[in-house]
Every structure is written in structure tokens, then in C-alpha cells.
Amino acid sequence: MPGRVEGYLCLSLAMTLVGSTVIASKIIAAALPPLTATALRLAVALPIFLALMRLTGTAWPKSEGRDRILLLVQAAAGSVGYTAFLIIGLKWTSATEAGIVIGTLPVVAAAVSVLILGERPARSLLLAVALAGAGVLLITFRPEGGGGSLAGNLLVVGAVLCESLFILLSKRLRTAVSPLALSTAMTALGLAVAIVPAALEQPWTAPLTGASLGAVFYYALVPTVAGFLLWYRGLSRVSGTEASLFTAVAPISAVLSAAVFLGEPVGPREIIGIALVVAAIAGSALSLPPRKRRE
């Protein structure tokens, strides 16, 4: 499979898993403190990553001072910040409202790739991002409104910004790191950042439920382990701006997950919006110069 096509597939699958975190976070928010849930999911995921590194003979990433700081910021933003902000926000806003806010991820990620990574994307790629954004807005915007709050939605905005930094900052690393090693580092550093604040939440007083623990374990095993590996494998094969386009898959996944697990309807708006996003991704791939498409 050509490298760029494989990258597109990995990014799409990774963002599908990210979309499902809205449902998991809604369940978690009803029972567990946010940083406790974050630390728990990372504690569950870390031994799996370490075992995979041992089985595959993957070396621990070697990094210098600047790269270490980037890795720490990335872990604090994505491994901890995204999860914590999303869980707290979903205490005060609905899953639908959260989906609306997460729908801004393609535009925010594209802005990060331009402003922080210094990329200068082609006009066709920017048009594809705009088309994907239009599809997302069509899916998530409902004139009748939802059951959200300003405070809750602003917290989800914080989650979106954290996710944008998380998915793109590895492009600034000076030393190449394998997807498995990078995923393990993100999990270990995130756990180190979260564990002390989680203890301050006094998690032993939380009313644990089977549903909340099941949601944490799902979050740890699927979006964290599988999602990290898929995202970093895909990111190593495309530019940051291209990768930002695929974040449009996340809110689509959230809408479909809500339909399956929460019984929310999927109508013509959702179908047209999904078609726009698929068209944007396909158009981006077809607009690449022939030399790049053979990579």
C-alpha cells in the first residue's frame, strides 16, 4: 500500500476512535472525577504499550532538551488536557453540543499547522479543509439548539485546542520517533502529569459504577492504544495540514456513535454532511501531484 494512502487510512481510523470518546466521556462524567478518569485510562494503557515495545524490540525514544519539552507539552495537552476538559465540559453540556464544538477541529488543526508548524499549504488543500468544515457544520448545527451551557462548551473548546496541539506537535520533533515509542512516551508522560492532581480529587470517594469503569477501560484500550498508534503512523506519512483535514472524521464518528448508542436519529443533514467530508478527503488525495501520490 502506498505510504500516503496508508497514512490517510490510519488517520481516518484514528479520528473515528476520537469521535467515540464523546460517548465514553459522557458516561465517565456521571461518576468519576476528570483527572482520576484520565490517570486511570493512562495507567491501564501504559502496560500494554510497554509490552508491545518489548515484544517488538522497540527502543525507548532518545530525545534532547527541546524535544523533551515538546513531548511533555504534547502529553499534557493531548493525553491529559483533552480528556479532562472534555469530561468536565460534558458535566454541563450535552453530547450534541460537544459534537458541535468538536466540529471546529479541522479548522483549528489547520490553523495550528500554519501558525505553529509554519506550513504553507496549497490552495486546494485549504479548500478541502473548508469543504470538510462545511460538512461538519451541516451535521452538528441544529437551529433548535441543544441542552448545553456556555461554560461547558468553552471547556470543550479547550479540549479541541489541546487535541490540535497533540495531533500536530510531533511534526516539530528534531529526532524521528517510531509510532509505538511515541505513543508509549505520550502515555507515560501523561500519567506522570495527571497522577498527583488526580490524587487531590480523592478518587476513593467516587461512586464507581460498572458503566463508568467500562467506559474508562474502553477509552484506554481503543481510542488510547489503537488510536495513538494509528494517528502517529499516519502522521509520519503526510503533512500537518493534510492531517488536519482528517480531524473532520471525529465529529462524524461522534454523530454516528450517538445514533447507535444513544438512539439519536441520523437524517438527510447528516448524510449530506458525511458526503461532503468524504468528498473533501477524496479531493485532497486526488489533488496531490503525481510524484507525491506515488510515495
CA distance 99 to 88: 15
Instruction: Report the distance separating Cα 12 and Cα 28, nearest Å.
Output: 25
What's the first-to-final CA gap in the chain, in angstroms?
10
What's the pLDDT score for residue 292?
Answer: 44
Handedness of CA 129, 134, 135, 141 (dihedral sign): positive
Q: Which residue ranges make up each domain of the chain?
A: 3-293
Angle between helix 65-74 and helix 179-200 axes, rounded to 10 deg: 60
Sign of the four-CA dihedral 261, 262, 267, 273: negative
> Which residue numbers in the chain have pLDDT < 50?
1, 289-295
* Residue 259, C-alpha cell as written in the block: 445514533
C-alpha span between 41 and 61 (Å, rounded):
22
Three-state helix/strand/coil letters over 59-102 = CCCCCCHHHHHHHHHHHHHHHHHHHHHHHHHHHHCCHHHHHHHH
In contact, 81 and 38? CB cutoff 8 Å: no
**Cell triple for residue 253?**
464518528
Rg of the chain (C-alpha set): 18
Quote the pLDDT of residue 281.
Answer: 65
Tens of pLDDT, residue by residue over 10-48, are: 999 999 998 888 889 888 988 899 999 999 999 999 999
Three cell numbers written together for 213 = 469503569
Predicted confidence at residue 266, as pLDDT, reads: 65
Residues 225 and 42: their CA atoms lie apart, in Å, by 9
> Are 212 and 30 spatial neighbours (Cβ–Cβ below 8 Å)?
yes
What is the predicted pLDDT for the residue at 96?
64
